[in-house]
Amino acid sequence: MTSLKVSAPFRLKPWFSERVWGKSDLRPWYESTGTDAAVGEAWLTGPACVVETGTFAGRMLADISAEIGGEFPLLVKILFPNDKLSVQVHPNDAQARAVGEARGKTECWYVLEAEPGAAVSLGLKGGAGADEVAAAVADGTLEELLEQVPVSVGDMIFVDAGTVHAIGPGVVLLETQQTSDITYRLYDYGRPRELHLERGLAVIKAKTDAGKVEPRTMDGFVRLIEQKYFTVDRFDVPFGETVIDIDGPTCLVGLSGNGTVRNDSGAAGLKRGQAIVLASGSQSVIVDAAERLSFMRCAAPPR
């Protein structure tokens, strides 16, 4: 087990990823992205995110990994689709390592915004497998093989490795996943981007555990999902101090309101659309809400 050298909370500046399917205006989450190009993803705990507070201010998260006990194990993003994402699939850990990657990609989506009738494509219809996917890609009918799952604000959706999936416009999602960007693009509606059909077909699972997850009311918060790689909880707290427990590498993501997260080693302001990292092991922190405050706790298992 790694002995962590720091335990003070620190806030990260989002890193904006330009995507052909993204948006140029991310308000009310962000007033500016620093680019006129379409942005599809705001990476809240990405390796290139710059620390804004505390001892490591001005350094990228990737550059301080040795000092916080290793690479932060969760990549948390907000997705802003203005068009259809590609139909894609991710490998599991063993499949990713077989092609030289550090790990696979299992993820979950929390619905922050949803227009009426919004849905995500999640998994294959009964009876379909890799052969049917290959044929549907060839004749442009892959979307017809995908299960459509209606979504509303507050829904949590689990997407395990091997699940064929796609996201379209009409939603804003908070994604919590393994720290990995390995994606096999199966179909892209004719856009001139690389496909990864051979590798994708090899990792497709005809049946997976993907789907909506029922929330559980806990003592002072709502448990949205608990899986091998992550646990995600939602807190809605009033003005004043609230003590929350941290067990394993964790980030807190602001949804609305403002506050401060502090422990004996330091403090950082919690803002909408930004993450505060708590890299150390078991501890309790105080969230001091300046007003009614909503935030997520995205936690990985203890190192």
- Boundary-marking domain end, from 158, 191, 211: 211
Per-residue pLDDT tens digits for 90-111: 999 999 999 999 999 999 999 9
Rounded mean pLDDT, 132-147: 96
Q: Please provide the average confidence, as pLDDT, over all residues in the chain.
A: 95
**Helix (H/G/I), strand (E/B), else coil: 95:** helix
Considering the domain boundaries, does residue 100 fall inside one? yes
**84, part of any domain:** yes
Same domain, 144 and 247: no
Mean pLDDT lowest for which of 2-11, 29-38, 58-67, 148-157? 2-11
Q: What share of the chain is helix, strand, coil (3-state, %, to 5)?
A: 10, 40, 45
My answer on whether 131 and 199 are in the same domain is yes
| Per-residue pLDDT, 127 | 83
**How many other C-beta atoms can be found within 10 angstroms of the C-beta atom of residue 228?**
11
Same domain? For 57 and 120 the reply is: yes
Q: What is the mean pLDDT of residues 248-268?
A: 96
Please check whether residues 57 and 151 belong to one and the same domain. Answer: yes
Residues 127 and 255 in one domain: no
3-state secondary structure 15-74: EEEEEEEEECCCCCCCCCCCCCCCEEEEECCCCCCEECCCCCCCCEHHHHHHHHCCCCCE
Can you tell me the distance from the alpha carbon of 229 to that of 164, in angstroms, rounded to the nearest whole number? 19
Residues 148 and 263 both lie in one domain = no
How confident is the model over 230-255, as a mean pLDDT? 97
Residue range of the domain that includes 20: 10-211
Task: Report yes or no on 3 lying in a domain.
Answer: no
pLDDT at 18: 96
Domain end among 188, 211, 234: 211
Asked if the structure places residue 5 within a domain, the reply is no
**Residue 30 pLDDT greater than 70, yes or no:** yes
List the end-to-end C-alpha distance of the chain, in Å, as a whole number.
6
Number of separate domains in the chain: 2
Indicate if 190 and 226 belong to the same structural domain: no
- The kind and range of the H/E element at 198 are helix 197-203
Residue 6 pLDDT exceeds 50: no
Q: Give the pLDDT of residue 7.
A: 74
Arithmetic mean of pLDDT, 112-132: 95
pLDDT level of residue 258 (50, 70, 90 thresholds): very high
Six-digit token pair at 157? 């959706």
Q: Is 251 left (phi over 0), alpha (psi -120 to 50) or beta?
A: beta
Same domain as 123, residue 46: yes
188-202: average pLDDT: 95
Q: List the CATH number of the domain containing 245.
A: 2.60.120.10
Number of H helices, E strands in the chain: 3, 24
Q: Output DSSP code: residue 220.
A: S
Final residue before a domain boundary, out of 211, 245, 268: 211
Looking at residues 232-250, what average pLDDT do you find?
96
Mean pLDDT of 205-209: 94
Q: What is the pLDDT of residue 93?
A: 98
Q: Which residues of 95-129 are buried (b: 16+ CB within 10 A; e: fewer)?
A: bbeeeeeebbbbbbbbbbebeeebebbbbbeeebe
Identify the pLDDT of residue 2: 37
| Same domain assignment for residues 117 and 238 | no
Q: What is the pLDDT at residue 1? A: 33
Structure tokens at 145: 């093989």
Residue 97 domain-assigned? yes
How confident is the model over 289-302, as pLDDT tens digits?
999 999 999 999 99
Residue 171 lies in a domain: yes
Task: Give the pLDDT band of residue 280 (cuts 50, 70, 90).
Answer: confident
Q: How confident is the model at residue 282 (pLDDT cuts 50, 70, 90)?
A: confident
Mean pLDDT, rounded, for 151-167: 98
Regarding beta strands 119-124 and 275-278, do their DSSP bridges make them parallel or antiparallel, or are they unpaired? unpaired
Residues 182 and 223 in one domain: no
Question: In this structure, are 194 and 276 located in the same domain?
Answer: no
Banded pLDDT at 285 (limits 50, 70, 90): very high
Other residues' Cβ atoms within 10 Å of the Cβ of residue 221: 18
Query: 230 and 155 in one domain?
Result: no
Domain membership flag for residue 1: no
Q: Does any domain span residue 259?
A: yes
